[in-house]
Structure 1
């Protein structure tokens, strides 16, 4: 299983780099979870996050967020 830490949306400004996994289910309102990870394979990490936190969701995307220095 991939290593990740979910981040509260209000705390993301404290991280230099974080990622968002957003649902893209048709007819559903998009939902997002924010996370940090040291893993290189973001798709695997996102898949684990979806399985752990949003079972049944089949369509999602990963969005990287970086703070500019």
Structure 2
């Protein structure tokens, strides 16, 4: 089980580094979940998030976001 914390979209500016798992199976209405983690394998973390939060999603991608100083 991965360690992560879901972050509300309006709160992401408070994090220097955060990640987005974008569910892409509905191209007209993509959905994103934002999270922070100390884990190294983002694909495993994203898979755990999908399994727990959106169990029917089959197509998704992980996008890292880093704040520029």
Under a length normalisation based on structure 2, what TM-score does the superposition of the two structures give?
0.95
Stretches of 4+ moved more than 6 A in 1? none
1:27 Cα shift? 5.1
In structure 1, what is the Cα distance between the partners aligned to 2:68 and 2:49?
Answer: 26
Give the match for residue 32 of structure 1: 32
Map residues 1-69 of structure 1 onto 2, 5 A cutoff.
1-26=1-26, 29-69=29-69
Aligned length: 69
Q: CA RMSD in A?
A: 1.1
In the alignment, structure 2 segments of 5+ residues that lack a partner are none
Under a length normalisation based on structure 1, what TM-score does the superposition of the two structures give?
0.95
